[in-house]
Structure 1
Amino acid sequence: MLVGHCALLHITILADFQRKLNMAVRKRGKSWSARINWRDANGQLHQMEKGGFKTKVEAEQYSVEQQYLHTKGVDIESNPVFADYFHEWWTTFKKPHIRHETQKRYETNDKIIHQYLGDVKIKRIKRLNWQQFINDVCKTRSTTTVRLLNRQFRACVKNAVADGLITLDFTQGVNINGNDANTRKPVFLSYAEAQTLLRTAMDDRDPTVPSTYIIIAIILTGARVGEISALKWHNLDIKKHTIAIHHSYNSDIKELGPTKNTASYRTIRINTKLIDLLQEIKIDSKDGYIFQEAATGLPPANRTINSKLQVIMRHAKLDKKDFTIHSLRHVHVAILHHKSVDWMAISKRLGHQNLSMTLSVYAYYIDEDKRKSDKEIEKKLDDLFI
């Protein structure tokens, strides 16, 4: 009786769905096809047909599934190529509002998804397919790179869910384990080495060479090179001893852009010596940049700053492979850590989004603190027996 009741219920539901969508199944040769007709909110007629079903039951089941998706607000008619959908999504929603560096990352991922998934349509992609894709890109890319890649694609997939193209996020719960063998590790300096670098830069400074002053400013502020290069005189408050970091300068396209994230939009305190140093290079100009080359009135290119840094490193007799202008932020942290500045204060000063990000980057210093603490604990316990 129960089986008969379920069968009757199935027939009733199917008949109801067929009335709503005007569904029909028919045999075409050796296989079955399902045709679905419906009208949208404007009364426009739509039709969709799919064939290749082995049995009439399979065709009817497909029709019921489509009806269910339709009632859930899913666009059962549209099924774009995912790579094309990603391109349209990021160029429309992201490109007008992101930094040049972020745009280049989207462009790279755009090429990757076209290369790997080609003409695969979005409704064909399942979590298994996505995990296989991620496994493939993990073979030649670092874990961090793949995480950033998946984050961009996941935002796109969430948009597809909101658009009613699909019901589930197939990027959710993916396992990421990239190839970190060739990942460049951060280069840290000791406090003594940081002092040597700063003194050498001070000795090498020339008011006509803004690159050296940028290097000194990063050491004393921990700001990113783009943030320092973007500074204009109105960002400096001499009375309050602060600089307002509200932009980032891209030396490739010679334009100001937004900071890396909302946490990077900040105002930080600076010391008197840095204010005095900035006064040495003050030039009145149309654009008002603090650090500007005489010929252009614009900040120097990153490669120019980096070249100057390598000269200073040689003069300081500091042999550090892969030490770049970004490494100067680590120098600032080395100084503050040595002076026992709180990690939360350091995190805010660097413009990190949260403390955990700071602690993960500077785990080297955390481990160093733990080693010192362990020795102190050991000594204090031994003192009990004296």
Structure 2
Amino acid sequence: MSITQRKNGTYEVSISWYDSLGKRRTKSKRGFKTKPEAVLGEAKLRLEYEEVSVREKVDQQDTFAEYFKNWYIFYKKPKVSKVTLNRYQYTYNVINEYFGNKLLKDITRANYQKFIVKYGQNHSPNTMKMINNCIKACVKNAVYDEEIKKDFTYNIELISNRDNVVQVEYLNVAEIKALLNSTISKLNPRYTSNYMIVTAILTGARLSEIAGLTWNDINFNFNTININKSYDYFAKSFKPTKNKSSNRIIKINNTLCDVLKELRTNNTDLVFKNKRGLIPTSNAVNKALRARLEELNINRRNFHFHSLRHSHVAFLLSQGIDIYPIAQRLGHSDITTTTRTYAYLIEEYKDKNDAIIIAGLDKLSAEKAPTKVPAKSDI
């Protein structure tokens, strides 16, 4: 039995069983106003599916949407982050809206490609890639469990609308300096949001990585930060970093060291936990960030806390830093991820780098070759 309280306060119940082939099946029902009602609803749901003939009928008639939902709840929900879970929920809503009651076994590659074409006309490449990846994993599982014979996502051509791509905003060098100086001038250990903003500017770390820092992770003798975990705001506990390559040790400057030392007065286990025992949420740090930007008359429509990571990269590129050490600092497994994510930034500095290359080549060709001393055999 599973009873889950949803965001709107209502409850959802689900039951599971194994069919004659040993495959796990599930059924759920939502909309219960109280937990006692949910318990009663679960009991009724279980009674409905106690009859073997009813279960077998349901086993053979899973809709695409139902199968996807049951799959991600039982296989993905226990081990993925809240953000990733939201992606599966979003994908389920899309499937349910487009395919409705169409059975999983009746979906063909042609059906799926038509869906991709139709939905992709009004959605960005990233959205389409996300949806397709979620569905591909589910369909692969269905093939493995012999629910369907073929993978209908195989070799599908992704269609998307590039006009829907939201260009990530970042700050130029002057704006980064202004934001950094302004935020530092307003630091107060009682309010740690500003400290997190400064840390993001000077490290390029993700919000969850910053929130998860403990004092043991900071080495003030060697000016380093050890990023080895992140913070789960929903569970209020630590969780692994985004991936293995995200575990890294990065160098920090004296300014950040001095800023972080101020927070020791809070006498807390986590660096950015305030005296009330709270770590600023995403909403809190973004509210503080917007306030700093408004004070500086900096207007960026799509700028948020994660944009500080992009601004950090922009600043490093402006200083002529090579893409490889930038990738290591960001925690990317290889430079492919970095170049793909920040292609638009790299392109902006292409002219500057080309000028440096040409200047170097001009210097090389301008140097006179050493005069050759004729050998005796040449005389």
The structural deviation recorded for 1:154 is 0.2
Q: Following the alignment from structure 1 to structure 2, what is the Cα–Cα distance between the partners of residues 135 and 97?
A: 32
**Conservation of the 8 A alpha-carbon contact between 2:212 and 2:229:** yes
- 1:41 is displaced (CA, Å) by 10
Residues 1:128 and 2:110 aligned together? yes
What is the alpha-carbon distance in structure 2 between the residues aligned to residue 189 and residue 41 of structure 1?
58
CA distance in structure 2 between the partners assigned to 1:117 and 1:139 by the alignment: 17
Q: CA offsets, 1:199-218, max 9 Å, x none?
A: 11111212221011000000
2:270 partner amino acid: Y
Letter in structure 2 aligned against 1:264: S
Q: Report which of the two structures shows the higher radius of gyration computed on alpha carbons.
A: 1
One-letter identity of the residue aligned with 2:349: D
Measured against aligned partners, the alpha-carbon deviations of 1:156-188 in whole angstroms (never above 9, x if no partner) come to 111112112233211121122222334321112
CA contact (8 A) 1:251 1:300 kept: no
For 1:174 and 1:41, the matched residues in 2 are separated by: 31
In structure 2, runs of 5+ residues without a counterpart are 1-19, 23-58, 367-379
- 2:273 aligned with 1:292: yes
Report the secondary structure of 2:274's partner residue. Answer: coil
Query: Could you tell me whether the CA contact under 8 Å between 2:317 and 2:346 is conserved in 1?
Result: no
* Unpaired segments ≥5 residues, structure 1: 1-39, 43-76
The answer on 1:159 being equivalent to 2:151 is no
* Structure 1 equivalent of residue 338 of structure 2: 358
Distance 1:79 1:265, change over 3 A: farther
CA distance in 2, matches of 1:321, 1:259: 29
Residue among 312, 321, 332 paired with 2:292: 312
The secondary structure found in structure 1 opposite 2:77 is helix
Give the TM-score normalised by structure 2: 0.74
Residues 378 and 268 (structure 1), Cα distance of their counterparts in 2 relative to 1, 3 Å cut: closer
Per mean C-alpha deviation after superposition, the further-off stretch among 179-188 and 143-152 is 179-188
The 3 A distance-change label for structure 1 pair 373 and 339 is closer
> Which amino acid is the alignment partner of residue 289 of structure 1?
L
Match of 2:321 in 1: 341
CA-CA distance at 1:382 after TM superposition:
8.2
Partners of 1:230 and 1:289 within 8 A in 2: yes
Report what 2:351 is aligned to.
Answer: 371
Is 1:275 the counterpart of 2:253? The answer is: no
* Deviation digits for residues 13-39 of structure 1 (CA, Å, limit 9, x no counterpart): xxxxxxxxxxxxxxxxxxxxxxxxxxx
What is aligned with 1:87? 69
AA aligned to 1:291 is F
Query: 1:291 deviation in Å?
Result: 0.5
Tell me the equivalent position of 2:15.
Answer: none
Provide the residue aligned with 1:172 in structure 2.
Answer: 154
**Counterpart amino acid of residue 311 in structure 1:** A
Rate the CA distance shift 1:353–1:132 in 2: closer, same or farther, 3 A.
farther
Q: Which residue of 2 aligns with 1:55?
A: none
Which residue of the other structure, out of 245, 250, 253, is the alignment partner of 2:227? Answer: 245
- 1:188-227 equivalence runs, <5 A: 188-227=170-209
Alpha-carbon deviations, 1:310-364, whole Å to 9, x = none? 2212333433332211110012112222332221111122123432221122223
What secondary structure does 2:349 align onto?
helix
Contact 2:267 2:275 survives alignment (8 Å): no
Could you tell me which residue of structure 1 aligns to residue 132 of structure 2? 150
**Percent of pairs with identical residues:** 36
Within 2, Cα distance between the matches of 1:191 and 1:375? 20
CA separation of 1:284/1:373 partners in 2, compared to 1, >3 Å: closer, same or farther?
closer
The answer for the alignment partner of 2:29 in structure 1 is: none
Give aligned pairs, total.
Answer: 310
2:243 paired with 1:261: yes
Using the size of structure 1 for normalisation, the TM-score is 0.73
Is this contact kept in 2: 1:251–1:302, CA < 8 A? no
Q: What SS class does the counterpart of residue 281 from structure 1 fall into?
A: helix
What letter corresponds to residue 327 of structure 1 in structure 2?
S
Aligned partners of 1:83 and 1:114 also within 8 Å: yes
- Is the 1:352–1:358 contact (alpha carbons within 8 Å) kept by the matching residues of 2? yes
Q: What residue identity is the alignment partner of 1:265?
A: N
